[in-house]
Structure 1
Amino acid sequence: MKATSALLAPLIAGASATIYYAGVAESGGEFGAYGTPGTGIPGTFGKDYQFINQAGVDTHVDKNHLNLFRIAFLLERMSPPSTGLGATFDETHFGHFKDAVDYVTVTKGAYAILDPHNYMRYNDPSAQPYSGSVIGNSSDPKAATTAQFGEFWGELASRFKDNEKVIFGLMNEPHDMTTELVLENNQAAIDAIRAAGAENLIIMPGNSWTGGHAWTEGSDPSSALLNKFKDPANNTAIDIHEYLDVDFSGSHAQCVSDAATHLADLTAWLKTNNLKAFITEFGGANNTGCATMLKDMLNYMSSNEEYIGWTAWAAGPFWGPNSPCCTDSAQLGSLEPGSTAADGTPGLYDTVWLPVFQPLVPEELQWNGKATVNGGELSTFEARGN
């Protein structure tokens, strides 16, 4: 436990904090590839994987007044292994993905984070998060290069640069690699995005699963290097994940790791470096302990100006009774509207989202204009003018 004064300082300093973007992570576009290498690549849309359920997005926007969706996909489907990571896309797959992004951003008027859910790896998602070659690993002849990662992001950015509601999430949860290489890959992507003429908001990850609790820890911490990126558009934020269980994995039902303790050093680092952050994965089970800690975490973000947005893990069309996190493998459903547990009782949407998250969704969010690290004009859902 850190000293009480260290915990209170960020709360006092962030008294005028604002959350501009709030929503859920849409998980499903990365499904269908687990098993024998090559399984589900490219896969069948609507059978092996799917990005969103439009009816679920409708509920989250129209009823819950959320303005942000993080939409996962696999690099190997967008940029096939047969041609390698880079600027050559599977146009059919891209079309399905663009349909989902357009539904969120154009039809519903919300913001979308593009999420390559690959753990900074490429070529074999069959046993994620560990399978595949680390991007930029020069000692692995099968690895895609840092330059190829940049080429990929330059191409993807060129296709979405005219949509100011699209946010580029560079990579999901890099891990077991050097922080220097994480920075090099991030910088290659930022350079390519800006070279493509895209000024969209970028959110970039750190090392160690981009965990907030681990940001300043260890012999090779994210804090040592991740402030050294360069963005000529000055529109890059930090992407953080933070689960509340004992090992920060999001696999256990008991929440024991409170945000005020475990995010204090990260928050101080963000403040020192004049940086903003999104927490794009966090969640909890349907118990009293998690309800309390999730509320505390949402209040912590809303009380510290370093945090401008969040997406809870996870909704998505293919979860069924399975749980995306925090249930010790119990089948308690997901944050997808209408979700039910395996025994037919209400799922996590009804037992966690509605009673815990929904009351703390800000009444005013940014509904119009370019997504930026500085946020934009706030309005209620009813007054958003879309």
Structure 2
Amino acid sequence: MRRIKFLIRTCCFISCIICCSKEETTAPTAPDKSSLPALHTEGRWFVTDAGDRIILRGVNIPSMEWTASGDNMLKSVDHMIEVWGCNLLRIPLSQDRWFGYGAEQSDDGAAYQRLTEAIVQAGDENGAYIWLDLHWSNGDRWGQYIGQHIMPDEKSIIFWQDVAARYKNHPAVLFGLYNEPYGISWQLWRDGGDCTEYYNRDGEDVNLTYRAVGHQELYDAIRATGAQNIVIAG
């Protein structure tokens, strides 16, 4: 089994910031032509197939983790590329909203997925790579406990299987396995295991227990789709 190559330096700074999906939808495929060269890693460098080193400078554009419609996402994408000169945009996503389990959704995630596709297309057409980041999970319970958790869960595998199949080998797309896992051992981070955390929902503290999925398992799920996109593990 191949082990995750840690990308300690991602060259991104932060601005101020299948089986379980409700219905199958047509997946986008990698474009025949892209304004961006595909990247791979050589040591600490991002490198094109032509051997050129690329330095990525970018920002985090939040809101799609907490709302399916996002908050002026496409305007923000345009501004960050045209005004700030970014060539990398980190887009936080919610595994529940991807499949339409947000309380505000009634379309099985179709509009959310279309917005994600529009962001990827805008980045590709204007010279910016898109880092799709799994930011919010659910403690292995669809539609419940939607938010930031200590670790990803079984539903996170389903999320990455779908996202990776849609965007596999897209030159503009990078995959970020999970946002800010914390308070765990390195072994649990890599291999997963039983996980208990205290989660506040609607003002009530809940003792939440679930099987945390290790980052190696998420990485393997992505690679099993045939996707060779850069994977960021942190």
Instruction: Give the alignment's TM-score, normalised by structure 2.
Output: 0.56
Q: Is the Cα contact below 8 Å between 1:111 and 1:165 reproduced in 2?
A: yes
**Amino acid paired to 2:156:** F
- Cα distance in 2 for residues equivalent to 1:99 and 1:156: 14
Q: CA deviation at 1:78?
A: 0.8
Aligned-residue offset at 1:22 = 0.3
Corresponding residue number in structure 1 for 2:28: none
- C-alpha contact 1:57 1:104 (8 A) present in aligned 2: yes
Deviations 1:253-297 (A, max 9, x none): xxxxxxxxxxxxxxxxxxxxxxxxxxxxxxxxxxxxxxxxxxxxx
Between the aligned partners of 2:114 and 2:121, the Cα distance in structure 1 is 10
* Structure 1 position 119, deviation (Å): 6.8
Aligned twin of 1:172:
179
Q: For the residues of structure 2 that align with 1:121 and 1:173, how far apart are their CA atoms?
A: 15
User: 1:26 is matched with which residue: 55, 61, 64?
Assistant: 61
Corresponding residue number in structure 2 for 1:72? 92
Residue 200 of structure 1 corresponds to: 229
Would you say 1:152 and 2:172 are equivalent positions?
Answer: no
Q: Distance in 2 between matches of 1:19 and 1:109?
A: 12
Measure the CA separation in 2 of the matches of 1:121 and 1:102: 31
CA spacing shift, 1:80–1:175, aligned 2, 3 Å: farther
Aligned-pair identity in percent equals 26
Check conservation: 2:100, 2:110, Cα contact below 8 A.
Answer: no
Q: Which structure 1 segments of 5+ residues have no match?
A: 1-15, 33-42, 83-88, 136-143, 206-386
- State the shift of 1:155 in Å: 1.7
Contact 1:25 1:71 in 2 (8 A): yes
Structure 2 letter corresponding to 1:52: M
1:53 paired with 2:88, answer no
* Structure 1 vs Structure 2 CA RMSD: 3.0
Shift in Å, 1:121: 4.5
Aligned length: 155
1:182 aligns with 2:180: no
Q: Which has the higher helix share?
A: 1
CA-CA distance at 1:120 after TM superposition: 8.2
1:79 and 1:90 in contact (8 A); partners too:
yes
Query: How big is each residue's C-alpha offset from its partner over 1:36-78, in whole Å with a ceiling of 9 and x where there is no partner?
Result: xxxxxxx5x2xxx337132x33332223321000011211111
Partner letter of residue 67 of structure 1? N
Q: Which structure's relative contact order is higher, taking Cα pairs within 8 Å and 6+ residues apart?
A: 2
Which residue identity is paired with 1:115? D
Q: Output the CA distance in 1 between the equivalents of 2:121 and 2:217.
A: 26
Q: TM-score, with normalisation over the residues of structure 1?
A: 0.36
CA shift, 1:122, in A, is 5.0
Which residue of 2 is the match for residue 118 of structure 1?
136
In the TM superposition, what whole-angstrom CA distance separates every residue of 1:93-124 from its partner, at most 9, and x where no partner exists?
2122211222122x212101001112784544
Per the alignment, do residues 117 and 173 of structure 1 end up closer, same or farther by CA in structure 2, a change over 3 Å counting?
Answer: same
| Paired residues for 1:218-257 under 5 Å | none
Describe the shift of the 1:79–1:179 C-alpha distance in structure 2 as closer, same or farther (beyond 3 A). Answer: farther
Tell me, yes or no, if structure 1 residue 92 matches structure 2 residue 127.
Answer: no
Segments of structure 2 that go 5 or more residues without pairing to the other structure are 1-44, 47-52, 103-107, 192-213
Contact map agreement 1:120 1:134 (CA 8 A) in 2: no
